[in-house]
Structure 1
Amino acid sequence: MQLSSALFFASLAATLVAAAEKPTVYLIRHGEKPEDDDVTGLSMEGEQRAQCLRDVFGASSQYNIGYILAQTPKDNGKRSRPYLTVKPLADDLGLTVDTSCDRDDAKCVKDAVKDYDGEGNILICWQHGELSSLAEKLGADDVDDYPSDSYDLIWTQPYPYKEITSVTSENCPGLDN
């Protein structure tokens, strides 16, 4: 009987350690866009945000980012803002931005999160209108839409991804209040 209790507790401890090692997901919106919607890329403010994220999520931050996911850019430059927003950070961290998931493919994002087995947490940068769909596909219920007039919010969705546990600001100087 004592041996089976010891095995039970060892198994329970291993399960808890495995759960503790699952990454937290951070969801952010791409940087600011130019006034002219027909222009691709980031505005000057968006470029500033991309540079600020190097400090916000960088190696000396509390976020411990080990994997970055941004929606697939189109060949004509459309939908490139998420990638452009996180590329400087990825370069600093020595990471490649995974752009294998289309903007409207929340299942692909869920699979990428599930399949990630590296060290560190996950940063997802996406078009704001799809962020709630991503959070819900990961497992959260009734997620509010990302506000269309905000570019600075960080949604924190820890394992087992059942809820957004906090919403904070990137606090980029000169961009966020």
Structure 2
Amino acid sequence: MTLTLHESHDILGSKKRTSLVAAAASAQPTVYLIRHGEKPDSGDGLSAEGQQRAQCLRSVFGASSAYSIGHIMAQTPKSDGSRQRPYDTVAPLASDLGLTVDITCDRDDSDCVKDVVDGYQGSGNILICWEHDALHDIVKTLGDDDAPDYPDNSFNLIWTDPYPYSQITSTISEDCPGLDD
């Protein structure tokens, strides 16, 4: 079979478009979701254990890790100091990675989180640190109709939600020494 120059160009163009679409799909970030660090018995902020966890995350998700974090999100803190724990949990890591923590989305606005994830154009993956009760809603809004509930008594789980964000594919421990032994 002999192709004309025009037919050959159409086939190559089609293959190139298919390759570009496949590359774009593979370029979608993986979303990692974690709960904020441990909290004190009363009041806002992190407990000593929560501060220890925030320091540990510097190693877990740091530049030499396989997570390749390029964007970090935490819910918007309130001006009275409440809802500050997620930000405080990831701030040391963000500093190490030279990133600014994205706090544009309110705790209960999972649509906002989805918009940020869908609009992300940077390199690397996305780390989301939130209150555990809202993680279910975020995962569901991203596309997982069977989104799990984050356990009330855990602070150490990492959920992995790869593109197209339709299922948590793994749940592993952060393995922070002295906290997750």
The TM-score normalised by the length of structure 1 is 0.97
Quick check: 1:104 aligned with 2:108? yes
Quick check: 1:59 aligned with 2:63? yes
Higher-Rg member (1/2): 2
Quick check: 1:166 aligned with 2:170? yes
How far did 1:41 drift? 0.1
How far did 1:3 drift? 2.9
Consecutive aligned runs of 4 or more in structure 1 exceeding 4 Å deviation: none
Segments of 5+ residues of structure 1 without an aligned counterpart are: none
Q: What is aligned with 2:33?
A: 27
Q: CA separation in 2, counterparts of 1:12 and 1:127?
A: 40
How far did 1:4 drift? 2.3
How far did 1:114 drift? 1.1
Q: CA separation in 1, counterparts of 2:140 and 2:18?
A: 28
Among 41, 44, 47, the alignment partner of 2:45 is: 41
Alpha-carbon RMSD: 0.8
Aligned residue for 1:3, secondary structure, equals helix
Deviations 1:90-124 (A, max 9, x none): 00000000101000000000001111101110000
How far did 1:176 drift? 0.6
Among 84, 88, 91, the alignment partner of 2:92 is: 88
Aligned residue for 2:66, secondary structure, equals coil
Segments of 5+ residues of structure 2 without an aligned counterpart are: 1-6
The TM-score normalised by the length of structure 2 is 0.95
Q: CA separation in 2, counterparts of 1:2 and 1:95?
A: 46
Q: CA separation in 1, counterparts of 2:168 and 2:17?
A: 29
Among 8, 24, 28, the alignment partner of 2:14 is: 8
Percent identity (aligned): 60
Deviations 1:14-66 (A, max 9, x none): 00111111110000000000012xx1100000000000000000000000000
**Which deviates further from its counterpart, 141-150 or 44-53?**
141-150
Aligned residue for 1:97, secondary structure, equals coil
Aligned residue for 2:73, secondary structure, equals strand
Q: CA separation in 1, counterparts of 2:67 and 2:173?
A: 13
Q: What is aligned with 2:74?
A: 70
How far did 1:5 drift? 2.2
How far did 1:2 drift? 3.3
Q: What is aligned with 1:128?
A: 132
Q: What is aligned with 1:17?
A: 23
Q: CA separation in 1, counterparts of 2:9 and 2:97?
A: 46
How far did 1:7 drift? 1.7
Q: CA separation in 2, counterparts of 1:92 and 1:101?
A: 23
